[in-house]
A and B are shown apart, each in its own frame.
Chain A
């Protein structure tokens, strides 16, 4: 498939994705805010502002920062359509971003091209529909599903979703770029060995890993040590 240079000038498709993405996104945002509003109105249960502020003071500084970091880290991977959709449907790190990466890799298109954008959007949309439908069915059928889902026999499988996902993804991307991968990998492994408690803030470490990888890649690239197409030379 032909690769195109990312351009600041937008194609008609990109322009239309921006327009529709904003319309759907602002509607989604309004709808999300209507939920607590509806609860407050319907049950006549307006929250004490001090309680909301006090709780937000505990969560917002961290989660708002993470949200902003996620935008800068994931937007170049997800493309335009994928970003508008992914930032409404959520579960980015544990589902949508890996789904998009895998789909682009398998379809042999690159992030930042129009083909990459299309594949990423298709992957995220399919993933969102399946996920939302499964959760909805699960909620409907909860009575019969709960014993199965919480059965001790299946627990190890569900406990290991992330290793199962990143083992395979790692195999693909690390074997493609071992020279770029080495430094951030060593850094992260050592970091988690020394400070295991960082597990709960792994999303903050994603941009740290990216910064290390980009720094190393820049040096290697300048020295001519990276081959054609951004891959390590054979």
Chain B
């Protein structure tokens, strides 16, 4: 069979996996929506959660698409499409593919032409990313049991513990904003964008509190994020 990185069979394989991911998401969505009704959660809150999460995901999804395009220059479209639609991220897939290609004497600067090289890359990309999923499938119950014992019977401490986890993650990413300040003024662009986003969030918070704009609660995050991204364009023009 003549091989090409954009062979129709590869599109078919990718399509099947992508359809499966959508089906699984839809299944869990319906299941959670039913449970929300049983718990008497407000329908408006649930509706807004769906729409706000969807809105929130548009910009990152487009950036993932840019990652697919980047990888497609040497892996073709179907494999990156598949790899970035399931467990994976461009920050992982690129190094994994580069390393796999190099063991077969290929580079990431040109399109893969040998089926065997492509096959090595596909195996490595897949096998390298599975540990988290396997651990969840084998041990989620036990891990959750252990975690809830850490929180213990003290409800307040349990809440502080989960807030602390969030803050650990946020602080790592806030720290990351400062990684390029040695480059001078352009290195401060991410910090400026984050500050603009925080400011937009604060304005939304004020509007919600003072004007009782409760509808804004769920949309404050996507609005702040997309607003800051749009303003990143003039900010970059000013500071770069």
Contacts and interface: CB of A to CB of B under 8 A. Distances in A.
B213 interface: no
A51 B229 CA distance: 42
A200 interface: yes
Given A59-B95, A121-B32, A142-B77, A39 B120 contact: no
B221 to A, nearest CB: 4
Contacts of B118: 39, 43, 45
A122 B3 contact: no
B185 interface: no
Contacts of A64: 128, 131
A118 B28 contact: no
Interface string B1-19: 1010001011001001110
B32 A173 contact: no
A210 B32 contact: no
A202 B62 CA distance: 22
Size range of the interface on B? 35 or more
B232 A157 contact: yes
Contact of A28 (B24, B120, B157): B24
Contacts, number: 558
Contacts of A94: 60, 89
A212 B167 CA distance: 10
Given A123-B53, A213-B165, A75 B143 contact: yes
Contact of B236 (A101, A149, A156): A156
Nearest to A214: B164
A27 to B, nearest CB: 7
Contacts of B229: 157-158, 160-161, 164
A80 B140 contact: yes
A95 B62 CA distance: 12
A126 to B, nearest CB: 4
Contacts of A43: 1, 3, 7, 115, 118-119
Contact of B140 (A83, A162, A176, A226): A83
Among the interface residues B1, B16, B202, B225, which one has the most CB atoms of the partner chain A within 10 A?
A: B225
Interface in A110-143: 110-112, 114-115, 117-119, 121-136, 138-139, 142
Contact of B86 (A51, A63, A90, A173): A90
A5 B158 contact: yes
Contact of A160 (B50, B144, B228): B228
A36 B123 contact: yes
A135 B81 contact: yes
Given A112-B158, A160-B236, 18 more contacts: A5-B155, A18-B141, A20-B28, A24-B27, A28-B86, A29-B137, A45-B114, A70-B132, A83-B136, A99-B56, A132-B18, A171-B224, A180-B164, A187-B171, A210-B164, A213-B168, A214-B165, A229-B156
A179 to B, nearest CB: 10
Given A25-B133, A67-B132, A135-B64, A97 B198 contact: no
B233 interface: yes
Contact of A149 (B66, B123, B130): B66
B217 A106 contact: yes
Nearest to A204: B172
Nearest to B180: A196
Interface in B33-70: 33, 35-36, 38-39, 41, 45-46, 48-54, 56-66, 68-69
A133 B22 contact: yes
B53 A127 contact: yes
A110 B168 contact: no
A18 B171 contact: no
Interface in A145-180: 145-146, 149-150, 153-154, 156-174, 176-177, 180
Contacts of A98: 56
Contact of A39 (B103, B122, B233): B122
A196 B228 contact: no
A131 B59 CA distance: 9
